[in-house]
Structure formats: structure tokens, C-alpha cells
């Protein structure tokens, strides 16, 4: 049966929700997150919360990286819909044709997306 | 009930045998009129076939748990066009007035409500309504209604489904808000639902059935921009829609593509306003 636990934090800024959930799921694979504001959170898991889990979750919430514009952009890139992926990869295909003409190796889609994420982190 | 008639004896002309219309006599008349206004209280709960206001002008519903009123006893003869009955909720339970409920009721006792596809809700302790008796139609008419507070229907997981072979599991604890407010025939439904689970074969629609919003049916097709967080990917714009063909569902749909199968990671936030039958 689902078990919910409320947490508060002294955080001043919202955490990166993707990074936060990834870390929280070290407690249990199904942990879900409701985040109302930087100070209030509700976590959900299938079974009753144990004291050690509560402590771990609190620590994770308190220390999760802030949601910066750069991180937000990276999260959006990771969740790109087909239309954006198609645009990027179609351009990549043409770039790889040119690279091939110059004897350069092709850039893979994974490498291209990683590069876009990396660029978002610098803007 | 009819006012008590104060007997008056016409004087024969002798000046000695007629009713003396003195102050005491007039006070009797005024007292009778003052007593005309009365109040009655019910503490009934559950579904009641008929509530009898006993000619009162004010019906106080001091029910400890929800009360559903199928009908109200009509005013007794003689005809009382526009006989008013004010109904107020003072108890801990909500009050629901059914529209033209035919289950076990006498026709003349039924209530014609503003919205016809669901009961007029009076929120516990604050809701109120005004009915008048239409002796021409032999029905009570609900002419004014103030729900008083937003209402949340009793949780049922069956009110939350996915289309096709997709499953959508919403636990009671996932619901921060799932509430509605009826004003006339305008219904506002608001939701804040998180950490839900999408499973099965992903498809496009998360569906909220009208059991979660008073059981009304939509009279107009309306589309509203709302928010969702699909598999924790961040809040994005999606849309909610009701169908005017007596729609019984609010469909929350992404602008394109299907929802993502994910555990405790799908959230929807928003509200929609539409006319109900």
C-alpha cells in the first residue's frame, strides 16, 4: 500500500527534480516526488517509510542541486519530442556528410545530444 | 398552514353584540401573522425520499453526515404560489438536493433544480438554497443556490483511467486537490494530482470520470490549457477537454504523443470551467 511522507527543507531554491528523483530512487525504485515549493515535499513509495529511509531522503532533498536554467535546459533536451530530435539529427546527417568528405569520422546521435547538453550547461 | 382566522361577529346595530375591535383584538391578529414565519430542523442523513418542512420558511439541515434529499413535502392546500423555503446547511455533512427525483417520490414534492444532471450541492455548514413552490407546475423550483465551499467527491480509483490499453493508477494520497464548484449550470473542476502511475500500453488520454466531480454531464464542449509532468520530465502544457454530448469525462491529453509509462512520476495540474446539463 502506498506510503506518503512529508518533508520540509531549508532550501532557498527549487532542486533539479530529475536529479532529485534519480537520487531518491536509490531508496526504492518506485519513489515518487511531489514538490510544492523549495521548502515542502511529499514522497511516495510502496511500503511504509523506515527511519533510515526518511533520514536518507531528507539528506538527498537538502543537498540536491538547484534547478538552474542550465539544468532545466538539459532536462528539456533529455525529454526532447520527436520534432526536435528529428531537426537535430537531420542536421547531423548533413554535417556527417561534410565530415566524411574531409575524411573525418561521423558524430553519433548520442555524441551530438551530449554535445548539445554540454553547450546548454555553458550558456 | 393557513393563518388562524380570528372570528369577528358583525354588530346587529345595537352596538352591544359585535366583536370589540380593541387593541387586544388587534394584537391577536398581529400575533397570528407573526407566527406565520417558522423554522424547522432536520438531522436526517443518508438518502431521504422526502423531507417535510412542515410549512416552515426555513429548513435547517443539521446533518452530521451527508444528506441527499429526493423531494420536499409540498405546501398544503390552499395553493401557495411562490411559497418560499430557505434551506441552509449547518451540520458537518453536505446536503444534496436531487433534481426531479422519481425514486419513490410524490410528483408534487419534487424539486426542479438549476442543473439537471446532478444534485444541487450544499457544502457542509455553509451551503444554502432557496426554493419556491410553483403551484402551476406542482413542483418546487430551486431559484437560488450557493454551494458555499468547494466539494471533493469520495475517492474512487475507478474515476481515473487511461484510454485504450493504458492504465492510470491514482492512489488517494496522490490527490492534493480534486474538487468542484457548481454555480447555476457552471461547473468548475480543479485538480492537483501527482505521483501517479501510467502503465500498460501507453496511449494519449488520462481520463477523469464525473464520479470525481459531482456526477454532472457536460452540456458544452470546452477545451482548456492545463499543465502536466509526464514521467518527471518537467511541467509542460497539455490540454483538458470535456464533450458537450453529455460528456462524463475530463480528458487530459498531451499536445502530441502518448503518455510515458512510469511509476509514481506523472502529475497533472489544472482546472476547467464548463456548462453542465
Cβ distance of A29 and B263 shorter than 8 Å = yes
Task: Give the side-chain half-sphere CA count within 13 A for A73.
Answer: 14
Measure CB to CB from residue B234 to each of A42, A45, A79 and give the nearest one.
A79
d(CA B160, CA B209): 6
Convert the pLDDT of each residue in B82-111 to its tens digit.
889 999 999 999 999 999 999 999 999 999
User: Measured between beta carbons, which residues in chain A are less than 8 angstroms from residue B233?
Assistant: 18, 75-76, 78-79
Task: Using pLDDT thresholds of 50, 70 and 90, give the confidence band for residue B1.
Answer: low
Query: Which grid cell sits at B156?
Result: 474512487
Which cell numbers in the block locate residue A3?
506510503
* CB contact at 8 A, B221 and B177: no
A38 near B CB under 8 A: no
A81 contact B CB<8A: yes
Could you read off the pLDDT of B115-161 as tens digits, one per residue?
Answer: 999 999 999 999 999 999 999 999 999 999 999 999 999 999 999 99
Q: Residue B210 half-sphere exposure, CB side, CA atoms within 13 Å?
A: 19
Q: What is the pLDDT of residues B245-259, one digit of tens each?
A: 889 999 999 888 899
**3-class DSSP state of A2:** coil
Residue A48 contacts B where some CB pair is shorter than 8 Å: no
pLDDT band at B32 (very low <50, low <70, confident <90, very high): low
Q: What local confidence, expressed as pLDDT, does residue B3 receive?
A: 64
- Nearest residue of B to residue A76 by CA position? B233
Q: With pLDDT > 90 as the criterion, what percentage of chain B qualifies?
A: 78
Considering only CB atoms, which chain A residues are within 8 Å of B232? 17-18, 21, 33
Residue B17 or B111, more confident: B111
Cβ separation of A32 and B194 shorter than 8 Å? yes
- Burial of residue A123 (CB within 10 Å: 0-12, 13-18, 19+) is exposed
Nearest-neighbour CA in chain B from A10: distance (Å): 22
**Do residue B264 and residue A75 have CB atoms under 8 angstroms apart?**
no
A28-77 confidence digits (pLDDT tens): 999 999 998 999 999 999 999 999 999 999 999 999 999 999 999 999 89
Cβ count near B113 (within 10 Å):
23
Terminal C-alpha separation, chain A: 44
pLDDT higher than 90, residue B232:
no
> Does A79 sit within 8 Å of B263, measured CB to CB?
no
pLDDT for B173 equals: 95
Rounded Cα distance between B232 and B220, Å, is 33
Q: B227: which chain A residues are within 8 Å (Cβ-Cβ)?
A: none
Q: Which residues pair with B161 in a beta bridge?
A: B207
**Structure confidence at residue B51 (pLDDT):** 97
pLDDT for res B17: 84
The ipTM of this complex is 0.81
- Annotate chain A with three-state secondary structure: CCEEEEEECCCCCCECHHHHHHHHCCCCCCCEEEEEECCEEEEEECCCCCHHHHHHHHHHHHHCCECCHHHHHHHHHHCCCHHHHHHHHHHHHHHHHHHHHCCCCCCCHHHHHHHHHHHHCCC
Q: Is B257 on the interface with A (CB under 8 A)?
A: yes
> With an 8 Å Cβ cutoff, is A50 touching chain B?
no
Residue A45: alpha-carbon gap to chain centroid: 20
B150-206 pLDDT per residue, tens? 999 999 999 999 999 999 999 999 999 999 999 999 999 999 999 999 999 999 999
Q: State the helix-helix crossing angle for A109-120 and A82-101, rounded to 10 degrees.
A: 110
Amino acid at each position: 500500500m502506498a506510503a506518503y511522507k512529508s518533508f520540509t527543507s531549508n532550501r532557498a531554491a527549487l532542486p533539479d527534480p530529475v536529479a532529485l528523483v534519480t537520487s531518491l530512487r536509490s531508496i526504492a525504485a518506485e519513489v515518487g516526488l511531489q514538490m510544492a515549493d523549495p521548502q515542502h515535499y511529499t514522497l511516495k513509495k510502496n511500503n511504509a517509510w523506515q527511519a533510515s529511509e526518511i533520514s536518507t531522503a531528507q539528506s538527498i532533498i537538502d543537498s540536491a542541486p538547484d534547478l538552474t536554467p542550465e539544468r532545466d535546459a538539459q532536462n528539456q533536451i533529455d525529454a526532447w519530442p520527436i520534432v526536435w530530435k528529428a531537426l537535430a539529427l537531420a542536421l547531423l546527417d548533413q554535417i556527417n556528410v561534410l565530415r566524411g568528405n574531409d575524411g573525418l569520422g561521423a558524430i553519433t546521435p548520442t555524441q551530438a545530444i551530449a554535445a548539445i547538453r554540454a553547450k546548454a550547461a555553458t550558456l | 398552514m393557513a393563518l388562524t382566522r380570528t372570528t369577528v361577529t358583525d354588530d346587529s346595530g345595537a352596538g352591544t353584540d359585535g366583536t370589540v375591535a380593541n387593541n387586544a383584538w388587534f394584537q391577536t391578529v398581529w400575533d397570528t401573522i407573526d407566527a406565520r414565519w417558522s423554522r424547522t430542523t432536520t438531522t436526517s442523513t443518508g438518502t431521504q425520499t422526502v423531507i417535510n418542512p412542515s410549512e416552515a420558511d426555513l429548513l435547517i439541515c443539521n446533518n452530521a453526515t451527508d444528506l441527499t434529499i429526493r423531494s420536499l413535502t409540498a405546501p398544503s392546500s390552499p395553493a401557495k404560489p411562490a411559497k418560499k423555503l430557505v434551506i441552509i446547511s449547518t451540520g458537518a455533512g453536505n446536503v444534496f438536493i436531487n433534481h426531479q427525483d422519481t425514486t419513490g417520490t410524490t410528483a408534487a414534492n419534487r424539486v426542479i433544480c438549476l442543473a439537471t444532471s446532478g444534485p444541487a450541492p450544499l457544502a457542509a455548514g455553509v451551503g444554502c438554497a432557496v426554493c419556491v413552490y410553483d403551484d402551476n407546475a406542482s413542483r418546487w423550483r430551486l431559484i437560488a443556490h450557493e454551494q458555499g465551499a468547494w466539494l471533493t467527491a469520495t475517492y474512487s480509483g475507478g474515476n481515473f483511467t487511461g484510454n485504450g490499453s493504458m492504465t492510470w493508477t491514482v492512489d488517494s494520497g496522490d490527490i492534493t486537490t480534486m474538487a468542484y464548484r457548481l454555480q447555476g449550470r457552471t461547473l468548475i473542476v480543479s485538480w492537483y494530482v501527482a505521483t501517479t502511475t501510467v502503465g500498460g500500453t501507453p496511449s494519449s488520454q488520462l481520463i477523469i470520470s464525473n464520479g470525481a466531480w459531482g456526477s454532472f454531464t457536460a452540456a458544452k464542449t470546452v477545451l482548456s490549457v492545463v499543465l502536466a509532468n509526464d514521467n518527471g520530465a518537467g511541467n509542460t502544457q497539455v490540454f483538458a477537454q470535456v464533450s458537450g454530448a453529455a460528456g462524463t469525462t475530463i480528458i487530459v491529453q498531451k499536445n502530441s504523443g502518448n503518455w510515458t509509462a512510469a511509476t509514481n512520476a506523472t502529475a497533472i495540474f489544472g482546472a476547467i470551467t464548463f456548462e453542465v446539463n
